[in-house]
């Protein structure tokens, strides 16, 4: 599936596996059904001690929307954010 907008995936203090990246992008693609034109998306994954956090920053119709998730597992953090 090809998305029409650029997606930037950034890792801070964590090596992003291809599986984590594709899981986050897959979850992000489900947001499109809520309407609005996504112009750009940035996904920031971070690990601080035992806390895995993720931020999805979306540029939708020229408004910035940021959602976050924090847990002890990166996949759970992605689910919490989306």
18 band by pLDDT with thresholds 50, 70 and 90: very high
Work out the pLDDT band at 31, boundaries 50, 70, 90. Answer: confident
Task: Check the CA dihedral 20-9-57-6 and report its sign.
Answer: negative
| Residue spans of beta strands (DSSP E) within the chain | 7-12, 38-48, 51-60, 63-71
Q: State yes or no: pLDDT of 73 exceeds 60.
A: yes
The pTM assigned to this predicted structure is 0.86
Evaluate if residue 79 carries a pLDDT over 50: yes
Higher pLDDT: 62 or 47? It is 47
Strand arrangement of the beta sheet that strand 63-71 belongs to: 7-12, 38-48, 51-60, 63-71
Taking Cα atoms as reference points, which of 69, 63, 71 lies closest to residue 82? 69
- Would you state the structure tokens that stand for residue 48, as one six-digit string? 């601080």
Give percent above pLDDT 90 in the chain.
67
Question: CB-hemisphere CA count at 13 Å for 21?
Answer: 11
């Amino acid at each position: 599936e090809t998305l029409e907008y650029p997606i930037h995936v950034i890792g801070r203090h964590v090596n992003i596996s291809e599986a984590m990246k594709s899981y986050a992008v897959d979850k992000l693609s489900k947001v499109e059904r809520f309407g609005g034109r996504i112009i750009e998306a940035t996904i920031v994954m971070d690990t601080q001690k035992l806390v895995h956090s993720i931020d999805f920053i979306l540029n939708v119709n020229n408004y910035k929307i940021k959602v976050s998730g924090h847990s002890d597992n990166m996949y759970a953090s992605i689910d919490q954010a989306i």
